[in-house]
């Protein structure tokens, strides 16, 4: 779930009309692994399937190489630890009529989804900014790497499920810093209630109804009764409060902030006061009845929530940089080989090697430029050598009205010291690729 404008791969081969040249790790070519719009007739092969490229194709080799890694399913990885803790909590706390877990868990669903699954099934309007190429990774106009695990909600509801968790890798083009990475991992939960389930134990509950025809307000949807909404909201918040206390411990201060999601209403963000700082940890809400109805569960009402595994792991384990989750350094991985997933652990930092900083300035093209295009280009060429990219200056020429951007790129290896010479090769490749692929005019 999101609150803004709103599986190296075993067998991934990208067929292009012109194949990018092979590049050594230390001396990348300007356009190695970069993909602009796909040429007609060329294919992307991913997870055993082929997808024709078109003008929407914007996948890079760096991102494709992350597909199928499934860090959340790698035993003793910190993201696996978080997933297992949440899963165990739901298995033990919520038991069905026959003594089996109420919630089923799906953690191996393909990250390739249709745009209908990712957007339309969730009632995201056709012109919503969250659909932009600049914010997503498209295989083509109809298929993409999921931007959120919510992309599977409709299918699972349509299959007749009414309580489930979905865990998986999600993909978004975003800024470059220690908190953001083009691939991260989410955990999604959904629970539906029948009239009998929701009002059981409520005095005179047999006379209460789930639905009515009224008007939408800040507190409810037009089809929900206030009694039903308040009970669903109460169950949702109680469920989440128990979960975060299980993860973080007793004595936790929690607050709820009203929020907007296209697929829930009312919607909330949960914030916790952790070590004196208020931190947003998840988003949630009462599911839009139109979504529930379209999936064939017209007689039920429900809630949904979604959280980021990296976000929780960074808070719980004091992991300072999101790139570390992709590290294969034994000094990192061995710290999370625990005999009990609930065992407390604090990450002991690897030696922090010095940063090498370089700036890049250029005039923007007259159209079709987004900052995320540049961030993705830097990620693709510099890989995990890039710690962050900051836009430090904007300038509009008073006569030509052309706009210039200046970005500061911080390079830092997490396992050794970088030399200015090797960074210079990478930085030059970034400059050349920006001119070639983004049509900028260099000021370097």
Alpha helix ranges (H) inside 306-403: 309-317, 330-333, 371-382
Q: What pLDDT is stored for residue 414 in this prediction?
A: 87
Strands (E) across 262-401 are located at 264-274, 277-287, 301-308, 356-363, 386-396
Q: Which residue has the tokens 């877990």?
A: 101
The answer to whether 244 touches 272, Cβ cutoff 8 Å, is yes
C-beta neighbour count of 223 within 10 angstroms: 18
Q: Which residue, 74, 51, 68, is CA-closest to 9? A: 68
User: Quick one: tokens of 51?
Assistant: 């997808």
CB-count exposure of residue 57 (10 Å: 0-12, 13-18, 19+): buried
Give the whole-angstrom CA distance, residue 164 versus residue 268.
20
Residues 22-60 pLDDT 10s: 323 334 444 546 655 666 679 999 999 999 999 999 999
Q: What pLDDT is stored for residue 69 in this prediction?
A: 96
Q: How far is CA 282 from the centre of its chain?
A: 12
Mean pLDDT per segment of 10 residues, for the chain of length 444 residues? 38 30 37 58 91 94 94 97 98 92 97 98 94 95 98 98 98 93 97 96 90 97 97 98 95 95 96 92 97 97 98 95 94 95 92 92 94 95 95 95 97 92 96 96 93
Give the whole-angstrom CA distance, residue 244 versus residue 254.
9
Give the whole-angstrom CA distance, residue 63 versus residue 56.
16
Q: How far is CA 284 from the centre of its chain?
A: 15
Mean model confidence pLDDT for the chain: 90
User: Quick one: tokens of 219?
Assistant: 């507190």
Pairing of strands 112-114, 143-145: antiparallel
Backbone angles phi, psi at 397, to 5 degrees: -65, 130
Give the whole-angstrom CA distance, residue 160 versus residue 292.
11
Local structure of residue 262 (DSSP, 8 states): T
Q: What pLDDT is stored for residue 39 in this prediction?
A: 66
Q: What pLDDT is stored for residue 23 in this prediction?
A: 29
Give the whole-angstrom CA distance, residue 420 versus residue 413.
12
Contacts of 146 (CB under 8 A, 6+ apart): 111, 112, 113, 117, 118, 152, 168, 170, 171
């Amino acid at each position: 779930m999101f609150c803004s404008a709103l599986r190296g791969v075993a067998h991934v081969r990208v067929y292009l009309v012109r194949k990018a040249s092979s590049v050594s790790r230390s001396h990348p070519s300007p356009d190695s692994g970069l993909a602009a719009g796909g040429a007609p007739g060329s294919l992307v092969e991913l997870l055993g399937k082929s997808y024709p490229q078109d003008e929407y194709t914007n996948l890079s080799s760096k991102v494709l190489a992350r597909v199928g890694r499934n860090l959340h399913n790698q035993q003793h990885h910190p993201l696996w630890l978080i997933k297992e803790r949440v899963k165990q909590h739901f298995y033990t706390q919520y038991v069905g009529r026959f003594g089996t877990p109420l919630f089923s868990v799906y953690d191996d669903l393909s990250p390739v989804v249709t745009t209908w699954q990712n957007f339309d099934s969730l009632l995201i309007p056709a012109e919503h900014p969250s659909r932009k190429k600049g914010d997503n990774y498209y295989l083509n106009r109809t298929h993409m790497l999921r931007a959120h695990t919510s992309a599977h909600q409709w299918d699972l509801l349509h299959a007749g499920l009414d309580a489930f968790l979905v865990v998986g890798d999600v993909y978004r083009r975003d800024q470059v810093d220690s908190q953001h990475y083009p691939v991260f991992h989410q955990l999604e939960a959904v629970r539906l209630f029948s009239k009998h389930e929701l009002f059981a134990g409520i005095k005179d509950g047999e006379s209460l109804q789930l639905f009515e025809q009224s008007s939408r307000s800040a507190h409810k949807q037009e089809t929900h009764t206030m009694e039903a909404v308040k009970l669903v909201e109460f169950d949702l918040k109680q469920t989440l409060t128990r979960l975060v206390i299980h993860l973080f411990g007793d004595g936790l201060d929690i607050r709820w902030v009203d929020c907007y999601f296209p697929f829930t209403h009312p919607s909330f963000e949960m914030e916790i006061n952790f070590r004196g700082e208020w931190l947003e940890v998840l988003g949630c809400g009462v599911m839009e009845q139109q979504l529930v109805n379209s999936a064939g569960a017209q007689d039920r009402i429900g809630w949904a929530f979604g959280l980021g595994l990296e976000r929780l792991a960074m808070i719980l384990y004091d992991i300072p940089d999101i790139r570390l989750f992709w590290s294969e350094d034994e000094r990192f991985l061995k710290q999370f080989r625990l005999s009990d997933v609930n065992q407390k652990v604090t990450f002991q930092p690897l030696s922090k090697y010095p940063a090498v900083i370089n700036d890049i300035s250029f005039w923007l093209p007259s159209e079709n430029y987004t900052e995320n295009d540049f961030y993705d280009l830097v990620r693709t060429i510099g890989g995990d050598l890039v710690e962050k990219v900051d836009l430090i200056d904007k300038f509009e020429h008073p006569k030509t009205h052309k706009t210039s951007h200046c970005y500061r790129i911080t390079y830092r290896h997490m396992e050794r010291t970088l030399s200015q010479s090797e960074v210079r090769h990478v930085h030059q490749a970034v400059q050349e690729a920006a001119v070639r692929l983004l049509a900028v005019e260099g000021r370097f």
